[in-house]
Structure 1
Amino acid sequence: MIEFYKTFGTMTKKIDKPEKGCWISAIAPTQEECDYLIQEIGVLPEFVKASLDEEESSHIDHDEDEGQTLVIVDYPNADEDENTDENTLLYTTLPLGVIIMKGCIVTISLYDNLNIEDMAKGRIKGMNTDLKTRFLLLLLLKISQRFLIYLRQIDRVSSRTERNLHQSMKNKELIQMLGLEKSLVYFSTSLKSDEVTLNKIMRGKLIKLYEEDQDILEDVMIEIHQAIEMCNIYSGILSGTMDAFASVISNNLNIVMKVLTVITIVMAIPNIIFSFYGMNVEGLPIPQWWFPTLVAIIACVIATFIFKKKDMFH
């Protein structure tokens, strides 16, 4: 789907066809739409291909001959993990391509995302499609803020899952914790790549920076650094929590095995006594049914008392 937007005064409106100073938004474009971007708009084929590569990492590329600059940035995405039976929430990152061209700016993404939606609906203060550098920086600021929002969500989900684990050691909670730990790894990797891309933008060699945009760029860097720090903190906490619960589960298993072993020993005592009286052995005292039964009961009580005194049932 390809849509065209242009800022008129303080309002960003959808237009029918591309104009000078417009923003072209391509979300999950078909092959025909990709051909349109290449042939009609003039976007370089390699830039379109890179923007639609799900494994593409954040970077910046420039073509001097065509006067086009490609900025690939990773943005966070929340979805359910379909690879598990528990449908646990999994946070991932996906690439978003921003191509700065002469006369317009183009964004290409594989899927719908809230960042493009906010830009299209005019929810971003100070957005202007004529100012391509500011448009890029505002988009990067929105993405960095989205990282912070999702990191706080991960922290809340982690705390809630930890409380559930205190009550019952179920696979669902453990799988959710593993999913959150995986999500933090994705976030950490993408945030570091985005930081490298931002540092290249700050040098001003590939993208022209204006004095009025410096504050926005500094805000983006602050948000990215804060997100990286939060990601490292949450990752450390979650890793420690997982290790602690692994030890608790292992300890609980040892306790269960100890109790079962003690019960087996106690139950084995009557079997030993009755085995003697069940064999053809002469000279056993009082070969009546009640005597071995009484001996077995007394022996079981003594063994239970000894194990109880040594706290072997806990």
Structure 2
Amino acid sequence: MIKISRELKAGIAALVILALFYWGFSFLKGRNLFNGGLNSYYTTYKNINGLKKSSAVTVNGFTVGKILDIRFSNDPAKKGQLIVEFTIEEDLHFSKKSIAKIYSGGLMGGKSLAIIPSYDGDEAKPGDYLKGEIESDIFSSITNKLNPLQSKIENVIVNIDSVTHHLNKMLNQRTIENLNNSFENINLIMESLKNTSATVEVMMESNQQNMNNTFSNIKNTTKNLKTFSDSLSKIKLLAISEKINRTASHLDSITAGIQAGEGTIGLLTKDEKLYNNLEAASKELEELLRDVKEHPKRFVHFSIFGKKERKYEEATETKEN
């Protein structure tokens, strides 16, 4: 039987202790040596909001890894930004368009990193950088909502202070006396209105009978108007309207006949020769009547002894005409 020396046993024990120490240290840093190779990914933030090493990395609420390291970037273009290295221990596939979002695990809990996977585009490989975002926690949301309200309250307080200052400048002794006088005048006006109201009430009571009679007359008048309206409604307005329409139709037909030259009036308006003959006859009749009036002896002969009839001679005036 092979004997193992104490030195060898001590050396083996030391190696086991060192291996356990290294495994424990790696596990605390987020590395699990018994779970195969590690898939490390990176993301950058300007502010990590309290994210720590060994914080959980989740996908849809399920823990798939841990934060491995947090350090400042050495890239001059990203000066001041923090690089977060995290590991994915599960066999998870997602694209480079996935998002690494810092979120709060609870009201009193620490920060965690959630992977919001996207499956469009090229698949992410260990060593790739994902886009980093920060989710607002409840306190940040409340603070963001209270900040505008705080500014508005401050503006209101400033306005109130300004108004108070102006009021203090306005409310001097003279202004106060004027206000007191105004209130006294208001009291006098109210007293006057009260007396006026009492007077009106007395007048209403004394003239109640007259007012009742007035309302009764108004009621009778309304009734008469209603009766008159009913009488108007019973008139055969439709028949009257039809007669007016027929009369207008007859007038239209008469007018049309005159325009067409029918009848005496139509001939007078349309037959110019007839009109000229009538006008000439009218003129001759007018001349005859004037001649009879001026020389009646030419047309009426009266003689007791049978005087010989004198031959008619045309007047000189007529010849001249």
Q: Max radius of gyration: which structure?
A: 2
Into which bin does the TM-score normalised by the smaller protein fall? under 0.3
Structure with more contact order per residue of length (Cα contacts < 8 Å, sep ≥ 6): 1
Q: What is the TM-score normalised by the length of structure 2? A: 0.24
Q: What is the TM-score normalised by the length of structure 1? A: 0.25
